[in-house]
A and B are shown apart, each in its own frame.
Chain A
Amino acid sequence: MLILARRIGESIVIGDQVEVSVVDIKGDQVKLGISAPRSVPVFRREVYQAIQEENRRAAAAAPGALPRLEGLAMRDPRAR
């Protein structure tokens, strides 16, 4: 892993389309600014992993066992 020291206001460039800059540092927290094209998704690692993991759980769930939701006001989402 490449390790670089940067100060507030400095940045690093990855390839020709991604730039990561250090916006602020407070205690043990660093605020980063990231500019990247739309084709490069940027996520906090833990959020990305949580959603990925939940998608896998959802896909593995039993399809035959869809229960009824009691006390539900029915509406058609496509009628919005």
Chain B
Amino acid sequence: MRVLTRPYGEIDLDERQRIGLPWGLLGFEDLHDWVLLDAAQPPFIWLQSLERPEIAFVLIDPLVFRPDYAPNADPAEVAGLELAAPDDALVFVIVTVPAEGARMTANLQGPLLINRRTRTGCQVVSTDPRWGVRHVIADELAARRASAC
């Protein structure tokens, strides 16, 4: 299918890249139809709205910079995803890229869970007090390197 994307203009994507977010994202509750595509700069991934081409988010697998990450969401919140097994869930977090790109932050408090079988996802609120909405990715990586030495 042809998709108009914010980062790459109009491109060809596979139907299997399509993701449904029945409850949208917080602040974007009316957008339900999305696609996931690899960014030209791994390990980033774009979450592109199919309904509004100008809306796209940068996602990252939080385990890349926080190997100890777990979403720890209220089970009632995740119930709508109908996960048959914990392995069915893909976990992403939304990245905020400031204009200069230097101090990118990741929102670990509001992760995006996607059922890989049904390709349905939702943004949940973590109940874990360790996770905030602005973790500086470079700092997390530096802390990880320091603790590894």
Asked if residues B133 and A51 are in contact (CB atoms below 8 Å), the reply is: yes
A29 to B19, CA, bound (A): 41
- 1/0 per residue, CB under 8 A from A, across B113-149: the answer is 0001000000101000000011001100100010000
Asked if residues A74 and B26 are in contact (CB atoms below 8 Å), the reply is: no
Asked if residues A47 and B101 are in contact (CB atoms below 8 Å), the reply is: no
- 1/0 per residue, CB under 8 A from A, across B48-75: the answer is 0000000111100101110000000000
Asked if residues B125 and A43 are in contact (CB atoms below 8 Å), the reply is: yes
Identify which of residues 40-80 in chain A touch chain B, using a CB-to-CB cut-off of 8 Å.
41, 43, 47-48, 50-59, 61-69, 71-78, 80
B-contacting residues of A (Cβ < 8 Å)? 38, 41, 43, 47-48, 50-59, 61-69, 71-78, 80
A-contacting residues of B (Cβ < 8 Å)? 6-7, 23, 25-28, 39-45, 55-58, 61, 63-65, 76-77, 79-80, 87, 90-92, 94-102, 104, 107, 109-110, 116, 123, 125, 133-134, 137-138, 141, 145
Q: Which 4 A-B residue pairs are closest in the complex by CB-CB distance?
A: A77-B61, A51-B110, A52-B27, A65-B101
Selected A-B contacts with CB under 8 Å, 14 pairs = A38-B80, A47-B125, A50-B109, A51-B26, A52-B27, A54-B133, A61-B98, A65-B99, A65-B101, A66-B97, A69-B43, A69-B64, A69-B141, A72-B64
